[in-house]
Structure 1
Amino acid sequence: MLYHELVRVYQDLDSTTKRLEKTAILADFLGKVGDEEPELLSVVTLLCMGRIFPTWSEEELGIGAKLLMKAISMAVGVSPEDVENQMRETGDVGLAAEELYQKKSQVTLFSRPITIEKVYQNLMKMATISGNRAQFKKIDFLMELLSSASPTEAKYLTRTVLEELRVGVGEGTIRDAISQAFKIPQEVTERAHMLTNDMGLVAEVARMQGEEGLRKLTLKPGKPVKPMLAQLSPGIKTSVEEMGWAICETKYDGIRVQIHRHGEKIDVFTRRLENVSEALPEIADYVEKSLPHEDFIVEGEIIASRDGKPISFQYMLQRVRRKYDVEQMISKVPLTLYLFDVLYYKRPVLDEPLKKRRKILESIVKPYPGKLELSRQVKVTPEEIEMATDLFEASITGGHEGIMIKDPHAPYMPGIRGKKMLKLKAEPETLDLVVVGGTYGKGKRAHLIGSYLMALQDENGQLLTLAYAATGLDDQTLLELSEMVEPLIISKKGREVKIEPSVVLEIAFSEIVESPESETGYSLRFPVVKRIRSDRGLDEIDTLERIQSIFKNSQKS
């Protein structure tokens, strides 16, 4: 199947903002691929999402914007500076490539149509190259594609290399398209994806084995799944009464992790499904000592502590990011792991109610004081609300964020945010938003970006600007943030910059207000940057639906 057929699909998706239309376009194409080249279905499904690998995969192309611009310059016969200037002008590497190809002075004499299979093969080869002269070899494989590409193919090829497809397709749209294409009930497709976190596999099994095959897909240690998410609690009393009774536990302010044992291997994954085992070798040691040598998936929170008290979240991020001198950091930033759930022990247990999962967890964990412990919790009935209040106050006094209020009858629901798991913090609720632009400061801060344009995502994963945030940053954090975003600047105009969406910030605010000037229709009063959220990815930022919900609830009070 030729790559330009996939490119036509990208163009059709880009031409509409309506989710139902996008779903229909994808369903038709996936059905066609399933009929004509079913062996390509998994690949095509991922490519339709702008991905090359499943979200949990450790594989990566290792090609940044600079290397990509060099390859484009070689393909069209201009300098890398010309490519960079074009990119600044358009604000998008794909549009820059397309326009440069249309002006192309260097004509390829022996170009031949590119197939989807060839695109995928070359991308996979790039991911496996390492060592001496790796960048030159990667460029060779990339040039083999770019030298035969049409302007429109080059647009989407370059975006795919950076995994920034920009056609407004998220996991929900792909999931619905698979259901539609292969006549599978939506809830079956959704559950299969929840348990495997691999949309390509889901599409392939749906085509080959139908509903029965999808129902057989389940958790496998070694492949992480998205964490179950919490909503904001309206208050302890209300939440407990709605649940009948509740399990309340301390909410720790650290890095949420999913720990897998498969055979003799222990892997530690973040909530972004990144494998950070090498950065946190002592965690594997704690797990080795405290849990059985059986296959399992457990979930918990790692906090950095000193003298028994939690220390800044930023220290925790330093540990997770660390690639060198890990041993030195172990003594500088000691860690404690608090386990609070189990998803798999010898078999999947996520469908069991929380109260049973907790019993399983307690039966398999041998606490390692100060290193690996079970989360602190109490069982609370509507008549014993003070037990939850006492835990909340004790948690805050202990330097933690607050408490979680969990429905004891609820199964574990990967990637789902609902009323079965609630959070109550001492501080007002915050938003996780991505930086998409900024403005340089004045005076002594003229060389630093002092105000950041923040965005959230809609149901299709499209980014919509919400508000600028300029306060809350001390000089050190401001410098660190500026250094993070400088390489991501796409274009500059005066003091204003456009930034490639990548850096997530936690933003506090006093109120959400309606604003016709914002792309979301809302804005924030007195937004304050609380911290850089390196543990959050672009797909985890807050949504327009959540903003609307918070605003609606604020109007009732």
Structure 2
Amino acid sequence: MRAFADLLDRLIYTRSRNAKLRLIGAWLRETPDPDRGWGLAALTGTLDLPAVKPATIRALVGERVDPVLFQLSRDFVGDTAETVALIWPEPAVPPPEAEPLTLGAVVNRLASLTRSDAPAALGAMLDRLAADERYALLKLATGGLRVGVSARLAKTAFAEAFGVDVDAVEEVWHGLSPPYAPLFAWGEGRGPQPTTLDVPVFRPFMLAHPLEETQIDLNDYAAEWKWDGIRVQIVHVAGQTRLFSRAGDDITGSFPDVASAFATPGVLDGELLVRGEAQGGEAGSFNALQQRLGRKVVSAKTLAEFPAFVRLYDLLFDGADDLRELPWHARRARLDAFAARLDADRFDVSALIDAEDFAALEELRAGARDAAIEGVMLKRRDAPYVAGRRVGLWYKWKREPLTADCVLMYAQRGSGKRSSFYSDYTFGAWTDGGELLPVGKAYFGFTDEELKWLDRFVRNNTTARFGPVREVEKSLVLEVAFDSIHASKRHKSGLAMRFPRISRIRTDKPAHEADTIAGLERLVT
């Protein structure tokens, strides 16, 4: 654990991307199997140790430390693992001498635990470790490293460390399991490149850059709507079908209606949506889709009320034929032919937008307020399908956000670097009867200086405290930008904002002039 703890500590205090790549690469080269494989799994978020939950850790430290002291410390530090690592007391009786804990031994022990075994085993390990090693152990156990390393960065570090292509690593990644012995054997020249033939694996998505240019030649780019669902990849290989999220998570079980309808060998890229009654069977809002997200077991009632389908964007494989090197226009023609063989209730192709020129397209985009439309995609007609974001190939052009003037109601401290600031803000709008009801929560959109100003306002205008939450005097108006707003039975106001963020602090506006629930209801799509 010592080497892994040192790696995490150095990554936390290293801002340079290239420096992080060198740190991870050196650690992967110098660390023996299987420790480096488990470390790579932790850095890429693919390590799953279900026996240890945050509640387990809180209960465990509550037995060793005064609960009030722990809560006050946690509130100040802003991170449970860091707080426990620092506040954990030395054992009254030192543990017997033993070999230092290795990363592999820790993972094997944690993976073998039941929920009932976890507290005692975790406590025994914490007693044997120094504070920074305790931090590494707790982050490992809960799967939330947060050291400024993305999965892609960790894979790039592996590729650079062993002189292989990162896209080749991505291609086989989801067909492998930790601790990735075949991957390291390939990297060190001791074994062949892993293969994913006859395995339904995830391939990295092609992504878009935000459009910043003022003009795009539509002779070079095709335009289609950007739908507001979740990006998915659906794969059928060797009689098996899998549905993957943008992060590569297998979500087949949450959408059995879609998976069972796809039995044609191939790999498709599209947007997962649900049909909405208000839209006459067309795509419903993201709020409707949320009724299906994250469910491990989907009831017959939910399947019937929120039938899912995929609006197709691209075709990566047609049977065994890899189409990714073909230009977009050729893949699009293959996609149209491929989709014609599929169940029309579960799959359709995202229509192209017919616009004479960029100005006409801009007008169409400005007028698009369909519940499921998020904006416009622009795709270069001669572009291959390549993983990640490549400049000049795909652009996303989101529609202009809606705005509303809302009143700040509650605030809560943030986490990590923001743990000392009240940075999470709940805001509301007025009912006709003069009651203020929450309509959303935001924690970004403001500058560092504005954050300091808002933090001071919260501290100086607190009227009540509810655990970590402060209620404030209802006097500050915030201009809130959001992509769309939908009816919601889960919220007292009956409304739910999509992607709310603070766009302006309205010190010039009295609170009683803020927007009303009735006004926001007129924006519902």
What does 1:429-468 correspond to in 2, within 5 Å?
A: 450-451=410-411
Partner Cα separation in structure 1 for residue 184 and residue 430 of structure 2 = 52
SS in 1 for 2:396: strand
Q: Does 1:26 align with 2:24?
A: yes
Residues 14 and 158 of structure 1: is their aligned pair in 2 closer, same or farther, counting only changes over 3 Å? same
1:315 corresponds in structure 2 to 288
CA contact (8 A) 2:429 2:439 kept: no
Residues 418 and 526 of structure 1: is their aligned pair in 2 closer, same or farther, counting only changes over 3 Å? farther
1:300 corresponds in structure 2 to 271
Partner Cα separation in structure 2 for residue 389 and residue 105 of structure 1 = 70
What does 1:503-518 correspond to in 2, within 5 Å?
A: 515=449
CA contact (8 A) 2:28 2:161 kept: yes
2:517 corresponds in structure 1 to none
What does 1:163-174 correspond to in 2, within 5 Å?
A: 163-171=143-151, 173-174=153-154
2:52 corresponds in structure 1 to 63
Between Structure 1 and Structure 2, the one with more helix by share is 1
2:169 corresponds in structure 1 to 192
Count residues with an aligned counterpart: 453
Partner Cα separation in structure 2 for residue 343 and residue 278 of structure 1 = 23
Match for residue 240 of structure 1 among 217, 238, 254: 217
Q: Does 1:266 align with 2:236?
A: no
Partner Cα separation in structure 2 for residue 181 and residue 361 of structure 1 = 38
Match for residue 9 of structure 1 among 4, 7, 32: 7
Q: Does 1:101 align with 2:113?
A: no
2:301 corresponds in structure 1 to 328
- Once superposed, what is the RMSD of the aligned Cα atoms? 4.6
Partner Cα separation in structure 1 for residue 91 and residue 484 of structure 2 = 45
SS in 1 for 2:261: helix
Once the two structures are TM-superposed, the CA of residue 317 in structure 1 deviates from its matched residue by 0.9
Partner Cα separation in structure 2 for residue 264 and residue 86 of structure 1 = 54
CA contact (8 A) 2:49 2:110 kept: no
Once the two structures are TM-superposed, the CA of residue 395 in structure 1 deviates from its matched residue by 6.0
Once the two structures are TM-superposed, the CA of residue 157 in structure 1 deviates from its matched residue by 0.5
Name the amino acid aligned to 2:328.
L
What does 1:317-466 correspond to in 2, within 5 Å?
A: 317-324=290-297, 326-345=299-318, 346-365=320-339, 366-377=341-352, 392=365, 396=369, 400-416=373-389, 418-428=391-401, 450-451=410-411
Residues 531 and 100 of structure 1: is their aligned pair in 2 closer, same or farther, counting only changes over 3 Å? farther
Partner Cα separation in structure 1 for residue 212 and residue 49 of structure 2 = 42
Of residues 218-227 and 330-339 in structure 1, the stretch that sits farther from structure 2 once superposed is 218-227
SS in 1 for 2:225: strand
2:40 corresponds in structure 1 to 45
1:257 corresponds in structure 2 to 232
Partner Cα separation in structure 1 for residue 91 and residue 267 of structure 2 = 55
CA contact (8 A) 2:236 2:267 kept: yes
Partner Cα separation in structure 2 for residue 370 and residue 224 of structure 1 = 24
Q: Does 1:156 align with 2:136?
A: yes
Partner Cα separation in structure 2 for residue 139 and residue 477 of structure 1 = 44
Partner Cα separation in structure 2 for residue 477 and residue 219 of structure 1 = 58
2:75 corresponds in structure 1 to 88
Residues 386 and 164 of structure 1: is their aligned pair in 2 closer, same or farther, counting only changes over 3 Å? closer
CA contact (8 A) 2:268 2:312 kept: no
Once the two structures are TM-superposed, the CA of residue 514 in structure 1 deviates from its matched residue by 8.5
Of residues 103-112 and 86-95 in structure 1, the stretch that sits farther from structure 2 once superposed is 103-112
Partner Cα separation in structure 2 for residue 180 and residue 324 of structure 1 = 41
Residues 154 and 199 of structure 1: is their aligned pair in 2 closer, same or farther, counting only changes over 3 Å? same
CA contact (8 A) 1:41 1:200 kept: no
Once the two structures are TM-superposed, the CA of residue 391 in structure 1 deviates from its matched residue by 6.8
Name the amino acid aligned to 2:396.
K
Partner Cα separation in structure 1 for residue 337 and residue 420 of structure 2 = 47
Partner Cα separation in structure 2 for residue 408 and residue 255 of structure 1 = 24
1:123 corresponds in structure 2 to 110
Residues 97 and 362 of structure 1: is their aligned pair in 2 closer, same or farther, counting only changes over 3 Å? same
Q: Does 1:526 align with 2:524?
A: no
Partner Cα separation in structure 1 for residue 97 and residue 65 of structure 2 = 20
Once the two structures are TM-superposed, the CA of residue 67 in structure 1 deviates from its matched residue by 0.7
Once the two structures are TM-superposed, the CA of residue 69 in structure 1 deviates from its matched residue by 2.3
Instruction: With the length of structure 1 as denominator, give the TM-score of the two structures.
Output: 0.67
Name the amino acid aligned to 1:30.
L
Partner Cα separation in structure 2 for residue 201 and residue 349 of structure 1 = 31
Partner Cα separation in structure 1 for residue 243 and residue 179 of structure 2 = 23
**Structure 1 alignment gaps of length 5 or more:** 54-58, 127-133, 431-439, 443-449, 483-504, 520-524, 534-540, 542-557
